[in-house]
């Protein structure tokens, strides 16, 4: 009987709940009924058309402006970094997804899909109240609009909009009020955005735009090599930059996402949509080259004297280092819909910039450091686990936060801002800087080991004897690079690490080259239509090299990879480097062989 009573109570509760729902549906205000009388459907259909138009207009703005309707805070560029935070494309400002600020900080500002949905919702709310019903007023309609609240979901091929807003339509004795309005607008915004993110990540991972730029740089500008010439090699830097800018524009415009696999200009991208790459020589850019003499690049032989030395083919090894910065607008498109975003292409010292993680798709937040909320304990020691007091900072996609200094016991407990694949940096006097990746999601501890710097004397020996002539000595590791001009500088500060050590020794030379005459033949395009079809012909000409005097020449040296331990640094006073001399050149051929022999010469490294 007790079980039957419990079942009866349960059934009664279910009946009461169902009855309550039914009564609510029956007696709720007629204003919530979404069914519109047929006499008022034309006006309501017009309203939905206005809602769809506003939705698609906002979607177009998002696609044309890199996922933004409300622009992020503008940041100007500088003469060194010509990029502001936005690219002006045909009068339309588009925020860069990746750029370098005027104070040389790398920054990303990539909107998330949720942020695009919020911006589109705000856009609809601001526009929907401006819908025009003028054509219906003359027919006796009266329209009252309430406060709008739009909820937007961006799908691959459509945009779902739920608009909560009282829409009251009155005509004569008839009246209807609709509170919720639903719309699904056809748009590829979601799919194109997802593909744009994939293209961006591919660029950050492979740096394919930078790699194409380096190819152009080496084809259209003097970078390094040996020229056949009997007069000084001189380039006007401005003319080099102009030709390079035009070549970059043409080559970047030639890139495409589809085509034959062996087509040089086809970029292998993990998407199905088409991609277009745009740049212009009229957009903000910056070109720098070193070494230069004013606006000229002048190739000079080693040890030349006025009117003497080796010119052109006569032993002129030139090497120019370029920094190139320019924007590229990437367009991902399908049919007549285009999602576009700009990125900055950066070449530093003839090499591409370091890649950034393309995983973070949240825009730059100026309050990044203020949002620190994850407690992390940092320990700093030297290699013997002796505490070191060090300044600690944290860097995440261009934001650098100074977090404080570890105590004399080597401990700092502080709050970090959250970031995936950020960098924590420890810096202390007398130690080399230590930088490592740290993802801050949950709190925890991190231990940083700093390498002490040791100031060591340098003694160079050539063929077993002390050498006091001129030499250039380089110590290059992943974390530290030092160059000294010997014998003017005879000491260097080093820490433990794997180094490439190189020594270049130059000595006076009295090599005299007599006048040389020979015939040089090259293949050139055939004249007329044959040249257009790829046919060539041989053309020969006489080359005359006047007498030359070489006053200075590579006389010895070599290079070696050597791991320097802290024990060697701590227990020694001097780094002794032994090198071998090269054959004394008696001809131009021998002089050139010396440069080849240099690459085969090892060095001896001793700590005494």
Q: What is the mean pLDDT of residues 425-436?
A: 90
pLDDT (mean) for 318-338: 94
How many CA atoms are closer than 13 Å to the CA of 305, on its beta-carbon side? 10
**β pairing state of 233-236 and 174-186:** unpaired
Query: Across residues 84-94, what is the average pLDDT?
Result: 89
Residue 362 lies in a domain: no
- For 478-512, what is each residue's pLDDT tens digit? 777 787 888 888 999 999 989 999 898 877 666 66
Question: 572 and 522 in one domain?
Answer: yes
Regarding whether 556 and 408 lie in a shared domain, the answer is: no
Quote the pLDDT of residue 37.
82
pLDDT at 30 over 60: no
On whether residue 82 sits in a domain, the answer given is: no
pLDDT score at 28: 40
At 443 the pLDDT is 83
Is residue 222's pLDDT more than 50? yes
Mean pLDDT confidence for 407-424:
89
Cis amide prior to 338 (ω within 30 degrees): no
Q: What's the DSSP call for residue 281?
A: T
Burial class of residue 388 in the structure, from the number of CB atoms within 10 Å of its CB (0-12 exposed, 13-18 middle, 19+ buried): buried
Domain of residue 49, residue span:
35-72+109-186
Residue 88 located in a structural domain: no
User: What is the pLDDT at residue 302?
Assistant: 46
CATH number (domain holding residue 417) = 2.60.40.10
Query: How does pLDDT run across 334-381, given as a tens digit for each residue?
Result: 999 999 999 999 999 999 998 865 444 444 444 678 778 889 999 999
- The whole-number pLDDT of residue 366 equals 46
Q: Is the pLDDT of residue 405 over 70?
A: yes
Residues 444 and 525 in one domain: no
pLDDT tens sequence across 515-561: 666 565 555 555 655 544 455 667 665 655 555 556 567 788 999 99
Nearest of 340, 149, 314 to residue 228 by alpha carbon: 314
Element (H, E) at 398: none
DSSP string for 196-226: HHHHHHHHHHH-HHHHHHHHHHHHHS--EEE
pLDDT value for 303: 40
Q: Does the pLDDT at position 103 exceed 70?
A: no
Tell me if 142 is assigned to some domain.
yes
In a domain, 120, yes or no: yes
DSSP, residue by residue, 518-543:
EEEEEEEEPTTHHHHTT-EEEEEEEE
Q: What is the pLDDT of residues 12-25, one digit of tens each?
A: 665 666 555 454 44
Indicate the pLDDT class of residue 274, thresholds 50, 70 and 90: very high
Helix (H) or strand (E) holding 28: none
Q: Which residue has the higher pLDDT, 81 or 427?
A: 427
Lowest-confidence pick of 156-170, 393-407, 531-545, 557-571: 531-545
Q: How confident is the model at residue 362, as a pLDDT? A: 40
Identify the helix (H) or strand (E) that includes residue 54: helix 41-64
Residues 201 and 341 in one domain: yes
d(CA 315, CA 301): 6
Average pLDDT over residues 402-422: 90
Q: What is the pLDDT of residue 535?
A: 59
- Does the structure show a pLDDT above 70 at 212? yes
Calculate what percentage of the chain has a pLDDT beyond 70.
79
Q: Give mean pLDDT, residues 444-451.
A: 92
Number of domains in the chain: 4
Does 332 score more than 70 pLDDT?
A: yes
Q: No. of H helices and E strands in the chain?
A: 10, 35
| Same domain membership, residue 253 and residue 117 | no
Same domain, 472 and 405: no
Judge whether 9 lies within some domain.
Answer: no
Residue where a domain stops, chosen among 450, 475, 496: 450
- Residue-level pLDDT at 16: 61
Domain boundary among 325, 352, 379: 352
State the pLDDT at residue 328.
97
Instruction: Kindly state whether residues 277 and 421 are assigned to the same domain.
Output: no
Does the residue 394 lie in any domain?
A: yes
538's tokens: 């041989």
For the chain, give the percent of residues with pLDDT over 90: 50
Mean pLDDT of the chain: 83
- CA separation for the pair 605, 561 (Å, rounded): 10
Residue 27: is its pLDDT beyond 60?
no
Same domain, yes or no: 195 and 342: yes
Indicate if 517 and 560 belong to the same structural domain.
yes
Whether 589 and 459 map to the same domain: the answer is yes
Does the pLDDT at position 592 exceed 80?
no
What's the predicted TM-score (pTM) here?
0.56
Specify whether 414 is located in the same domain as 536: no
Domain boundary among 152, 186, 220: 186
pLDDT at 7: 53
398 and 412 inside one domain? yes
Give, rounded to a whole angstrom, the gap between the first and last alpha carbons of the chain.
Answer: 101
Residue 233 to residue 487: CA distance in whole angstroms:
31
The answer to whether position 531 is within a domain reads: yes
The pLDDT of residue 304 is 37
């Amino acid at each position: 009987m007790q079980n039957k009573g419990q079942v009866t109570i349960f059934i009664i509760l279910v009946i009461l709940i169902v009855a309550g729902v039914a009564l609510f549906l029956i007696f709720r205000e007629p204003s919530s009924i979404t069914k519109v009388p047929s006499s008022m459907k034309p006006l309501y259909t017009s309203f939905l058309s206005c809602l769809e138009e506003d939705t698609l207009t906002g979607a177009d703005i998002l696609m044309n402006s890199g996922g933004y309707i409300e622009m992020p805070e503008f940041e100007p560029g500088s003469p060194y970094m010509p990029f502001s935070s936005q690219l002006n494309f045909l009068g339309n400002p588009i925020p860069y997804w990746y750029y370098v600020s005027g104070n040389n900080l790398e920054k990303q500002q990539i909107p998330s899909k949720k942020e695009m949905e919020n911006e589109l919702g705000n856009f609809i709310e601001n526009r929907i109240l401006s819908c025009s019903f003028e054509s219906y007023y003359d027919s006796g309609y009266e329209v009252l609009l309430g406060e709008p609240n739009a909820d937007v979901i961006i799908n691959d091929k459509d945009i779902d909009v739920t608009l909560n807003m009282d829409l009251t339509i009155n005509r004569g004795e008839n009246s209807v009020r609709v509170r919720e309005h639903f719309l699904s607008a056809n748009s590829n915004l979601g799919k194109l955005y997802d593909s744009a993110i994939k293209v961006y990540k591919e660029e950050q991972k492979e740096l394919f735009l930078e790699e194409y730029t380096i190819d152009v740089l080496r084809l259209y500008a003097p970078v390094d090599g040996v020229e056949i010439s009997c007069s000084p090699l001189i380039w006007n830097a401005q003319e080099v930059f102009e030709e390079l800018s035009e070549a970059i524009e043409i080559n970047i415009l030639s890139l495409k996402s589809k085509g034959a696999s062996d087509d040089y200009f086809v970029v292998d991208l993990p998407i199905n949509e088409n991609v277009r790459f745009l740049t212009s020589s009229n957009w903000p850019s910056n070109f720098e080259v070193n070494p230069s003499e004013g606006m000229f690049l002048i190739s000079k032989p080693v040890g030349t004297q006025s009117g003497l030395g080796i010119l052109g083919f006569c032993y002129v090894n030139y090497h120019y280092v370029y920094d190139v910065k320019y924007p590229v607008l990437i367009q991902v498109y399908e049919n007549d819909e285009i999602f576009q975003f700009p990125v900055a292409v950066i070449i530093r010292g003839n090499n591409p910039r370091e890649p950034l993680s393309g995983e973070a798709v949240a825009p730059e937040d100026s309050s990044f450091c203020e949002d620190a909320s994850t407690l992390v304990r940092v320990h700093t020691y030297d290699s013997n686990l002796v505490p070191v007091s060090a300044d600690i900072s944290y860097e995440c996609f261009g934001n650098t936060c100074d977090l404080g200094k570890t105590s004399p016991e080597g401990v700092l407990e502080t709050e970090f801002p959250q970031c995936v694949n950020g960098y924590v940096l420890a810096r202390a006097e007398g130690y080399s800087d230590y930088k490592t990746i740290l993802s801050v999601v949950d709190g925890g501890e991190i231990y940083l080991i700093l390498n002490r710097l040791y100031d060591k004397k340098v003694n160079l020996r050539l063929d077993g004897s002390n050498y006091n002539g001129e030499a250039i000595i380089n110590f290059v590791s992943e974390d530290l690079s030092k160059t000294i001009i010997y014998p003017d500088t005879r000491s260097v500060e080093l820490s433990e690490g794997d180094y490439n050590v190189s020594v270049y020794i130059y000595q006076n030379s009295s090599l005299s080259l007599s006048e040389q005459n020979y015939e040089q033949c090259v293949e050139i395009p055939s004249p007329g239509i044959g040249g257009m079809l790829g046919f060539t012909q041989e053309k020969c000409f006489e080359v005359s090299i006047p007498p030359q005097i070489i006053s200075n020449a590579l006389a010895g040296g070599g290079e070696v990879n050597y791991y320097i331990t802290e024990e060697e640094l701590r227990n020694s006073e001097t780094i002794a480097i032994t090198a071998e001399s090269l054959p004394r050149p008696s001809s131009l051929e021998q002089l050139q062989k010396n440069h080849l022999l240099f690459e085969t010469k090892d060095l001896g490294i001793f700590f005494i």
